[in-house]
């Protein structure tokens, strides 16, 4: 007989059936599956010995969808009874079953890649990083598309190599873990993603890390810890993330993102360690999180729309920032950002919008509502003259900042700077700024009662503390609202 199955002996056929039955027999809350160790050994190198970053994608030929038929109702249930929705059983792929050691020193990269390939092909799968291990992996992109309902659950410790000296030469030095081309991924857990960032922060090219406090010029690549790219319907929940070499989380080209219950921590002196960065991403919710770091708590870049931030505590750091936008004469568009019920403590900035001269586009529909400040320098700031080295040339175009509301913003400021600072473009002024119930008092020292305004138009709906009389009424005559350079979408 010529069929492939007929060439299998009875013992081999029984073994195949046993493996298929064992693959998805238990839920995430029950026993873990036992998976065969991948060929080529355990948690270190592949058989080729390579350690470079790679893309772990879904199988080349994904399994065909099963054709399900209506099931016969069990005895005692008739078709007219209310249906009880069936919950899909979760298949758990413990990375240890694929050879991961979890001892904090072994390279477990290949085990994680194998677990991803297996889980990606199964609906409602869970990749489990167990709570009793510390797992080290090198740069990897976990790519889709995958079957629906995929969960990456970190209950133990997951970390990259310890600093730039341990980073494989062939690996990408701009990112560590990337989730790409996915729909419906959840990254969650009670564990920790540890960035091992100190060696990166101390590179001589970082600000004031060179000889005698100088900064050396030249390449200064440092990896983003976790990046989501071209994906949708994402959830990130419950994790502790700390000591990233650079940004802790970055969302690029994504949509429908929910971040909830994160703890993000790095020292105040760690450079460029933004907590959460959003760019070219829409419909984002960031809730119930605590972020302390050495740069922006949350930064919102161009192409970001419909961002809702609630119940977030920031500090120390650089506050919540929109921008910087319009660098190198580029067009930048941000719209519909809400920050509500936030706390900002011991930060260089509070609520900041920053754009470069020479840019185009607009920032619009921004609402800051019920924000508590504690010892914050530059509590409220719009800066259309943003420049990193203060040697930027004056330019006549700018990103238009309009429809910005500050309501119920209260607390204390560091008296080294005025608590309210609106520095807007001569040719593209800021418009429709509204202020209501803004009360800011010195954390220590005397009241600074001279807020700064330049080319800023808006309305005080209630008196502010300190008083701000420099907002101009109406709209500037010079602003051409039909200017195509200011349009976004």
Q: Report the C-alpha gap between 233 and 210 in whole angstroms.
A: 43
Give domain status of residue 237, yes or no: no
CATH number of the domain enclosing 476: 2.160.20.10
Which positions ≥6 away from 16 have C-beta within 8 Å? 8
Per-residue pLDDT of the chain (489 residues), as tens digits, is 444 333 334 344 344 333 333 445 444 433 343 333 333 333 333 333 333 455 554 443 333 333 334 444 444 434 444 444 454 567 999 999 999 999 999 999 999 999 999 999 999 999 999 999 999 999 999 999 999 999 999 999 999 999 999 999 999 999 999 999 999 999 999 999 999 999 999 988 887 666 666 776 666 889 999 999 999 999 999 999 999 999 999 999 999 999 999 999 999 999 999 999 999 999 999 999 999 999 999 999 999 999 999 999 999 999 999 999 999 999 999 999 999 999 999 999 999 999 999 999 999 999 999 999 999 999 999 999 988 776 788 888 889 999 999 999 999 999 988 899 999 998 899 999 999 999 999 998 777 777 888 999 999 999 999 888 888 988 887 666 567 777 787
Supply the pLDDT for residue 35: 38
**Domain count for the chain:** 1
pTM over 0.85: no
Selection from 457, 325, 452 nearest residue 397 by Cα: 325
pLDDT in the model for residue 255: 98
DSSP 113: H
Report CA-CA distances (Å) from 160 to 26, 33, 137, 168, 234.
Answer: 30, 26, 5, 11, 23
Q: Degrees (nearest 5) of the Cα angle 193, 196, 198? A: 140
Decide if 169 is inside a domain. no
Residue 414 lies in a domain: yes
Task: Tell me the DSSP string of 393-414.
Answer: PP-S---EEEEEEEEEEEEEE-
Residue 373 maps to a domain: yes
Full domain range(s) for residue 421: 321-489
| Chain mean position to CA 64 | 33
Q: Could you list the active site residues?
A: 318
pLDDT at 205: 84
Tell me what pLDDT residue 57 has: 47
- Residue 229 located in a structural domain: no
Residue 325 inside a domain? The answer is: yes
Q: Is residue 33 part of a domain?
A: no
Quote the pLDDT of residue 19: 39
The two beta strands, 255-260 and 91-94, are: unpaired
**CA-CA distance, 244 to 236, in Å (whole number)?**
17
Q: Is residue 277 part of a domain?
A: no
d(CA 89, CA 262): 27
E-assigned strand segments in 331-359? 331-345, 351-355
- Name every residue whose Cβ is closer than 8 Å to that of residue 326 and which is 6 or more positions away in sequence: 332, 355, 356, 357, 358, 359, 360, 361, 398, 399
């Amino acid at each position: 007989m010529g069929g492939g199955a007929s060439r299998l002996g009875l013992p081999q056929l029984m073994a195949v059936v046993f493996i298929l039955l064992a693959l998805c027999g238990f839920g995430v809350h029950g026993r873990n599956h036992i998976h065969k160790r991948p060929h080529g050994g355990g948690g270190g190198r592949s058989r080729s010995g390579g350690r470079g970053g790679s893309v772990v994608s879904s199988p080349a030929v994904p399994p065909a969808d099963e054709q399900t038929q209506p099931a016969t109702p069990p005895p005692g249930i008739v078709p007219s009874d209310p249906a009880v929705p069936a919950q899909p059983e979760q298949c758990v792929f413990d990375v240890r079953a694929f050879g991961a050691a979890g001892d904090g020193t072994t390279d477990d990269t290949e085990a994680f890649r194998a677990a991803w390939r297996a889980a990606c092909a199964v609906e409602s799968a869970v990749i489990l990083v167990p709570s009793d291990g510390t797992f080290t992996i090198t740069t990897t992109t976990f790519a889709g598309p995958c079957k629906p309902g995929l969960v990456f659950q970190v209950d133990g410790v997951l970390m990259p190599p310890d600093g730039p000296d341990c980073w494989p030469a062939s690996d990408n030095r701009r990112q560590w873990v990337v989730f790409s081309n996915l729909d419906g991924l959840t990254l969650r857990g009670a564990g920790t993603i540890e960035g091992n960032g100190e060696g990166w922060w101390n590179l001589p090219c970082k600000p004031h890390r060179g000889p005698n406090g100088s900064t050396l010029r030249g390449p200064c690549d440092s990896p983003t810890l976790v990046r989501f790219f071209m994906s949708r319907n994402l959830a990130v929940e419950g994790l502790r993330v700390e000591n990233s070499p650079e940004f802790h989380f970055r969302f690029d080209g994504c949509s429908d993102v929910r971040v909830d219950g994160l703890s993000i921590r790095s020292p105040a002196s760690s450079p460029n360690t933004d907590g959460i960065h959003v760019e070219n991403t829409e419909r984002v919710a960031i809730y119930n999180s605590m972020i302390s770091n050495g740069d922006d708590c949350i930064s919102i870049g161009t192409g970001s729309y419909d961002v809702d931030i609630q119940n977030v505590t920031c500090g120390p750091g650089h506050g919540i920032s929109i921008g910087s936008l319009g660098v190198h004469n580029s067009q930048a568009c941000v719209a519909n950002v809400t920050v509500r019920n936030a706390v900002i403590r011991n930060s260089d900035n509070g609520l900041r919008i920053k754009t470069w001269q020479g840019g185009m586009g607009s920032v619009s529909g921004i609402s800051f509502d019920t924000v508590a400040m504690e010892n914050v320098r530059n509590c409220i700031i719009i800066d259309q003259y943003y420049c990193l080295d203060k040697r930027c040339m004056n330019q006549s175009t700018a990103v238009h900042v309009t429809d910005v509301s500050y309501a119920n913003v209260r607390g204390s400021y560091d008296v080294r700077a005025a608590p309210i600072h609106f520095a807007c473009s001569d040719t593209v002024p800021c418009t429709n700024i509204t202020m209501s119930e803004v009360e800011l008092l010195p954390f220590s020292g005397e009241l600074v009662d001279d807020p700064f305004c330049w080319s800023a138009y808006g309305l005080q709906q209630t008196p502010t503390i300190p008083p701000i009389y420099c907002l101009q009424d109406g709209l500037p005559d010079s602003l051409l609202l039909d200017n195509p350079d200011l349009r976004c979408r």
